[in-house]
Structure 1
Amino acid sequence: MKPLLDTWQFWALLSAGFAALTAIFAKIGVGPIDSDLATFLRTLVVLALLAVILTLTGGWRSPGAIPPRAALFLVLSGFATGASWLCYFRALKLGDAARVAPIDKLSVVLVAVFGVVFLGETLTLPNWLGVGLIAAGAVLVAWRV
């Protein structure tokens, strides 16, 4: 049996917990300032934290050691992340965190669809049912009656 720290499930649950804290902390922090400035400040903290982690773990590598295809897709991922964060912080500035976050998590649904269409991944009927339930749940949580 694998140690807990070596499982994707452990790290995914931690990610979900930190993402939830991100929404709460960001909603409080973005209130009195421009959402783009809030995103910038958050990004600086992420950069500093990653620099510390890479230094402590010896993870720094020469940019030339990164295969060009990998670099291209990581750059594209960076652009997508930046756009996502800008939109997320703007949404938090304008809406309730408890309703913004579930709509943001429709990304789970999109990842499932994109994984099938672009990466050739396969999902079974129960998997698709789960995807549908996630979509329905996000809409119901965000619905204002």
Structure 2
Amino acid sequence: MATSTGWFYWAILSAIFAALTAIFAKIGIQGVDSDLATLIRTAIIGVVLSAFVACTGKWSNPLDLSMKTWLFLGLSGLATGASWVCYFRALKIGEASKVAPVDKFSLVLVAVFAFAFLGERPSLRDWVGIAMVAGGVLLLAFKR
């Protein structure tokens, strides 16, 4: 799966697990504060990823990483934490079938940010698909 199309299989698996995340979280946060639920989820992720990295022999000294790597991984971690807190709060008070698709508006924002900051240039076809996602989010977000 390391080929140029291998990313697609990992992305599909990511989508499947993200969908399960919404369902499991919606059930799991009943009767518990959403911030505490986020902390528990994060602790479990830390344990599982630590075991995975150790068992696959992928451990290397984090102190050998560049300051730029630390800075941007740190910012990514902060953004992830903020996203999870907001997501769990939204799930606590909203329907999973509405919260999860609106959360995926991030797809639109990633395309815009990648264009602005990374120099990526999606094709016209790509932008049409991105606009369709944005339209779908708006359709779900605003009831008549």
Tell me the distance in 2 between the aligned counterparts of 1:40 and 1:3: 33
- Counterpart in 2 of 1:100? 99
8 Å contact 1:103–1:142 — kept in the other structure?
yes
Alignment map for 1:120-139 (pairs within 5 Å): 120-139=119-138
Tell me the distance in 2 between the aligned counterparts of 1:134 and 1:60: 38
Unaligned 5+ segments in structure 1 are none
Q: Deviations over 1:101-136 (max 9, x none)?
A: 011000000000000000010011111101100111
Tell me the distance in 2 between the aligned counterparts of 1:143 and 1:100: 12
- Counterpart in 1 of 2:67? 68
8 Å contact 1:98–1:142 — kept in the other structure?
no
- Counterpart in 1 of 2:29? 30
1:141 aligns with 2:140: yes
8 Å contact 1:102–1:139 — kept in the other structure?
no
Q: Deviations over 1:50-91 (max 9, x none)?
A: 011011111111122211111110000000000000000000
TM-score (norm. length: structure 1): 0.94
- Counterpart in 2 of 1:12? 11
Using the aligned pairs only, state the percent identity. 52
Unaligned 5+ segments in structure 2 are none
Tell me the distance in 2 between the aligned counterparts of 1:130 and 1:51: 37
One-letter amino acid of the counterpart of residue 41, structure 1:
I
Query: For residues 121 and 140 of structure 1, do their structure 2 counterparts lie closer, same or farther at Cα, with a shift above 3 Å needed?
Result: same
Tell me the distance in 1 between the aligned counterparts of 2:63 and 2:23: 39
One-letter amino acid of the counterpart of residue 30, structure 2:
G
Tell me the distance in 2 between the aligned counterparts of 1:48 and 1:39: 14
Tell me the distance in 2 between the aligned counterparts of 1:55 and 1:71: 20
TM-score (norm. length: structure 2): 0.94
Tell me the distance in 2 between the aligned counterparts of 1:120 and 1:49: 34
Tell me the distance in 1 between the aligned counterparts of 2:2 and 2:61: 31
Cα deviation, residue 139, structure 1 = 2.0
